Amino acid sequence: MAGILGIYLFDERWDVYNFGVFGLMALQHRGQETVGLEVVGKSRGKVEGEGLVDQVLANNKAAGHICLGAVSPYPASNGEIQPIKLSENVSVAIDGKILKIEGYQWDSMLSYEGNLRRAFKGESVEDLKEFFSRCRGGFSYIALNGKPEMVAGRGDLGVKPLVLGKMGFEGGIVASESCVMDIIGERVPISPAENIEPGETRIFTPLSAHAERLRNCNKRAHCSFEYVYLARPDSYINEIPVYRVRRRIGEILAEEGSVEADVVIGVPETAIPFAMAYSNSTGIPVEKGFELTGRRVRSAMKPNQIERLKGVQLKLNVISEAVRGKRVILIDDSVVRGNTLANIVYLMKEKGAKEIHVRIGSPHIVSHCPFGVEVPPEDELIGRHLPEDKIAEVVGADSFRYLSIEGFVEATGLKFEDLCLGCFDGNYPEV
Amino acid sequence: MKVLLVGGAGREHAIALSLTRSVHQPRLYCLSEMINPGIKKLVDSSGGEYFRGDINDPEYVVNVADKIGVDFVFVGPEEPNFHGVPDRLEEKGIPCIGANRAVSELEMSKASMRDLQWKYKIPGRLWYKKFRTYEEAIPYIEEYADSIALKPARQAGGKGVKVIEDFQVYLQEDKRRVKREHAESIVKEYMKGYEDTEYRLLIEERVWGPEYTLHCFTDGKSVLPMPVVQDNKHAFDGDLGMETGGMGSVSCGMNLRYGIDDERSIITEEEYKRSVDIVRMMIEAIQRETNKKYHGVVAGQMMLTSVWGPTVIEMYSRLGDPEAGNVLTMLKTDLVEICEAIIGERLNTIKAEFDDRAVVIKAVCPEGYPNRRELAKGHPVRINIDSGTGSILWASAELTDGKILTGGSRIVECVGTGSSIPEASLVAERLCRGFSLEDGWKVFHRSDIGSEKFMERRIALANMAREIYQYRERKGLLGKRMMWIPGKGLIEVG
């Protein structure tokens, strides 16, 4: 996955570099390993590197009224830094994965990017439309050519999100999440952004901006993990406020896994809304259980185990006063391998928690995502191999429960058949 | 009866249609810079004549009117008003519907309009500052201005306005630079050739809310208010892109209802009344100030804001374009009789009636409009519309040698009617799709105008602004703005 951003202003006097920087900062939670920002105006320049947005982009500069950028959770050693070059004059930022391209034989000797480059011909808007209408998988994209023209859209299954915002009479902003518009767009009192529909593409040229439907496909497969973990709670994904889903998940957890306790604690940051809603619906008080040391990082997205544990231990120092002598309901968003959870439970018991009942705001993760969500190989997934009571023993908790798949679907307010629940049940949509 | 229409855009085509529908069956004459194919047809079928020439030259207009021996002249656009065409006609004893030079100051000088509004304490006044030079404005932009609208102090063909929202401190440097540069180009480019106003640049506070236009006929003694119309200035779908003269407009009933039998509306009846009061006060103020009678059309380009409720953004001294198509399609009363009542200063005797049905207008434009008109000009128009419901108004299109060529601005305005705005929108939408250019140059229009989603968003926006201004009104804070400036104390504006 990734966070992608395109800004297209019509007036050449604008310099959007800083808009790009702050826009990507608003997407930083979608990728913290690499960042790239390409800016087009009278000239074309690109700043990229490994690290966080402010580390990579702060001391460099490129100027222009149009830009394309991305943050990605893949280390630079695993592939090219996004946005990648598709041809001489075309750059593209992709969130998710293109799994096949109609009329093209995938070459396993080539890299992923190499295959995309071989399959793509030309550089015009028409060439880009033709190319993306042949791509299949779970992805959203923003491409920029040398004219400069911008083409942005979602794959027809609508797995990955993409929204359109605007800046008054100046132009438009396309981004993975609507929170970008709050940070760099105009204040629109009703809703910050417009949802781009699956199969739809938005085209910006110096003379026009319009929508086209590249493909008609009724099957929807919105990524479940956006609602559980990936997206920011202040964003709207498929027009649904993420915070509403997370609150509802907390309420359903309280119904499904009811247990006597003295305090509810959420694991920062993602699980805090679950814990607040759990508390509000049960009357069990919610407390702040942890304090952070150093920079806020998304520990679960770190590429190796030591980094993840380092992240967790620094992020999650238990506040003993909150847990000592208490029966604790500890809520986390998901469990992948279980080691970080075990670490948290251990730290909490060490600080005097009497009982710990773990509740997870998502169903068990049993499958590796083909669309690029960072789920490790299946033999590493604790939820695929162990039942709930066994996991409780492994992590050292008094009880352990997942949210049910039905409960999750209900929380989203979407129809079962419109969601991709593959990571929970192993069934992915046909591409 | 003979009537001379001055101007040849979509608005004038709407006026021409309305005039020729009259029971008095006037012979229609037209004077404009380009031969409008729609007006040409009406002129020909009524037995009139089409003149091509400078509409801003009072002598020329008077000569044409004299030669024909017209009963009255109807001036469509604003520039002839600013050039004193109505004044010259009146001097010659030729009755005219059109704001004279003095009263058209309401539109011509955006700075004078605000001065007047503040002097007479007319509600819905935005906070503003006017400047003679660019240099005067710089320290101001640097120090105080945050979210503002930068405007040419004179009406400059609807061009040059830039609204910059500037509350994100981390983007301030970039935004202030663009503000400075744009302020400079307003003074040095957009105002070039307009030497008739003292002030060159206007800075106003930025407000949000649904916009609407309220037109009134006036004879200087009373006003005859028309249904409220909503125009849409962004070039592209979803309110995206550059500011245009207007890409389409919607109306239904007097107060922008969703449909005839629908309770939802963008503007409440109370807000409609307040808006009429504001326009009436503006007319009274400009007449008192100039000692001149206003004979013609006044329009408030309004916004329902959280600060004031009904708020004046700008004033028009004529019918808006494309809004003219809405109000004149809805007008059931004979336009010729209204004109005669204005001329005779007995407008209060007219009981005007308007159709309640929804009207949606969508403009079809050549790519290049609005900022690269040289690219948009001169393309032959291909028409492929089936006869059915709806009608069209030719706008920036020129009839030459039997061909219709684009003039660089909006080519045609498609008019749809229906029992609700979304229904009327579909009719206009279908008409829009019938226009293309023979040489393959692209055209565009806004497919979202008047759609269900569009209406719901406008109504939601209005509700939001309404909630805040009504709260302020209950608190006695309507129109008041307070700032605590550390070290300086409490500053109150309003």
The domain segmentation of chain A, as residue ranges, is 3-219, 245-416
> What are the chain B neighbours of A22 within 8 Å (beta carbons)?
168, 170-171
Q: How far apart are CA B234 and CA B240, in angstroms?
A: 6
Assigned fold of B127-205: Dna Ligase; domain 1 (3.30.1490)
Q: Could you list the pLDDT tens digit for every one of the 431 residues in chain A? A: 899 999 999 999 999 999 999 999 999 999 999 999 999 999 999 999 999 999 999 888 889 999 999 999 998 888 899 999 999 999 999 999 999 999 999 999 999 999 999 999 999 999 999 999 999 999 999 999 999 999 999 999 999 999 999 988 999 999 999 999 999 998 766 767 899 999 999 999 999 999 999 888 889 999 999 999 999 999 999 999 999 999 999 999 999 988 999 999 999 989 999 999 999 999 999 999 999 887 766 666 666 777 777 777 777 899 999 999 999 999 999 999 998 899 999 999 999 999 999 999 999 999 999 998 888 888 999 999 999 999 999 999 999 999 999 999 999 999 999 999 999 999 999 88
List the single best residue of A13, A178, A186, A202 to mutate versus B (max B Cβ within 10 A): A186
A19/B170 Cβ within 8 A: no
Q: How many CB pairs under 8 A join A and B?
A: 76
For the purposes of burial, counting CB atoms within 10 Å of the CB of B343, is it exposed (0-12), middle (13-18) or buried (19 or more)?
middle
Give the residue from chain A lying closest to B175, CA to CA.
Answer: A14
User: Hey, which residues 84-143 in chain A have their CB within 8 Å of chain B?
Assistant: none
Q: What is the DSSP letter of B308?
A: T
B371/A169 Cβ within 8 A: no
Helix or strand or coil: residue B121?
coil
A248 touches B at CB < 8 Å: no
B241 touches A at CB < 8 Å: yes
Q: According to the model, what pLDDT value does residue B305 have?
A: 97
User: Hey, which residues 151-210 in chain A have their CB within 8 Å of chain B?
Assistant: 164, 166-169, 171-172, 183-184, 186-187, 189-190, 194, 206-210
Q: According to the model, what pLDDT value does residue B171 have?
A: 93
Helix or strand or coil: residue A153?
strand
User: Hey, which residues 153-192 in chain B have their CB within 8 Å of chain A?
Assistant: 162-165, 167-168, 170-171, 173-174, 177-178, 181-182
List the single best residue of A21, A61, A170 to mutate versus B (max B Cβ within 10 A): A170
Rg (CA), chain B: 22
Q: Strand A263-266: give its sheet, edge to edge.
A: A286-287, A263-266, A327-332, A355-360, A399-402
Q: Which of B165, B233, B226, B210 is nearest to B310 (CA)?
A: B210
Out of B238, B368, B460, whose CB is closest to A190? B460
Helix or strand or coil: residue A94?
strand
Q: Return the biggest CA–CA distance within chain A.
A: 67
> How far, in Å, are A271, A326, B92, B482 from residue A313 at the CA level?
17, 22, 91, 48
Q: Could you list the pLDDT tens digit for every one of the 494 residues in chain B? A: 999 999 999 999 999 999 999 999 999 999 999 999 999 999 999 999 999 999 999 999 999 999 999 999 999 999 999 999 999 999 999 999 999 999 999 999 999 999 999 999 999 999 999 999 999 999 888 877 688 999 999 988 778 899 998 888 899 999 999 999 999 999 999 998 888 888 999 999 999 999 999 999 999 999 999 999 999 999 999 899 999 999 999 999 999 999 999 999 999 999 999 999 999 999 999 999 999 999 999 999 999 999 999 999 999 999 999 999 999 999 999 999 999 999 999 999 999 999 999 999 999 999 999 999 999 999 999 999 876 778 999 999 999 888 999 999 999 999 999 999 999 999 999 999 999 999 999 999 999 999 999 999 999 999 999 999 999 999 999 999 888 888 889 988 77
B465 touches A at CB < 8 Å: yes
A208/B457 Cβ within 8 A: no
Cα torsion through B446, B449, B454, B456, rounded to 10: 180
A19 touches B at CB < 8 Å: yes
The pairing of strands B50-52 and B27-32 is parallel
B241/A10 Cβ within 8 A: yes
Distance from CA of A212 to the nearest CA of B (A): 12
Q: Return the biggest CA–CA distance within chain B.
A: 73
> CA angle, B473 as apex, B472 and B478 as ends, to 5°?
75
Are B2-105 and B211-452 the same fold in CATH?
A: no
Alpha helices (H) in A293-372, listed in sequence order: 305-315, 320-323, 339-350
A169/B162 Cβ within 8 A: yes
Give the residue from chain A lying closest to B182, CA to CA.
Answer: A13
A166/B368 Cβ within 8 A: no
CATH for A245-416 (1.20.1050.10, 3.40.109.10, 1.25.40.10, 3.40.50.2020): 3.40.50.2020
In CATH terms, the superfamily for domain A3-219 is: Aminohydrolase, N-terminal nucleophile (Ntn) domain (3.60.20.10)
Peptide bond into B37 cis (omega under 30): no
Helix or strand or coil: residue A166?
strand
A190/B461 Cβ within 8 A: yes
B162/A10 Cβ within 8 A: no
Out of B162, B238, B243, whose CB is closest to A194? B238
B234/A10 Cβ within 8 A: no
Give me the residue spans of the domains in chain B.
2-105, 127-205, 211-452
> What are the chain A neighbours of B372 within 8 Å (beta carbons)?
206-207
Q: According to the model, what pLDDT value does residue B166 have?
A: 87
B177/A15 Cβ within 8 A: yes
A14/B442 Cβ within 8 A: no
B477 touches A at CB < 8 Å: no
pTM to 2 decimals? 0.94
Q: How many other C-beta atoms lie within 10 A of the C-beta of residue B441?
A: 16
Say if the ipTM goes beyond 0.90.
Answer: yes
Q: How far apart are CA A382 and CA A342, in angstroms?
A: 12
Q: Residues A299-302: contacts with CB within 8 Å, 24+ apart?
A: A299/A340, A300/A229, A300/A334, A300/A336, A300/A340, A300/A374, A301/A31, A301/A32, A301/A73, A301/A374
Q: How far apart are CA A16 and CA B465, in angstroms?
A: 30
Tell me if B338 sits within 8 A of B224, measured CB to CB: yes
Out of B164, B239, B368, whose CB is closest to A207? B368
Assigned fold of B211-452: D-amino Acid Aminotransferase; Chain A, domain 1 (3.30.470)
> What are the chain B neighbours of A181 within 8 Å (beta carbons)?
none
Report the top-level CATH class of B2-105. alpha beta
Distance from CA of B148 to the nearest CA of A (A): 12
Tell me if B24 sits within 8 A of B1, measured CB to CB: yes
Give the residue from chain B lying closest to A18, CA to CA.
Answer: B171
Buried b (16+ CB within 10 A) or exposed e, B457-493: bbbebbbbbbebbeebeeeeebbeeeeeeeeeeeeee
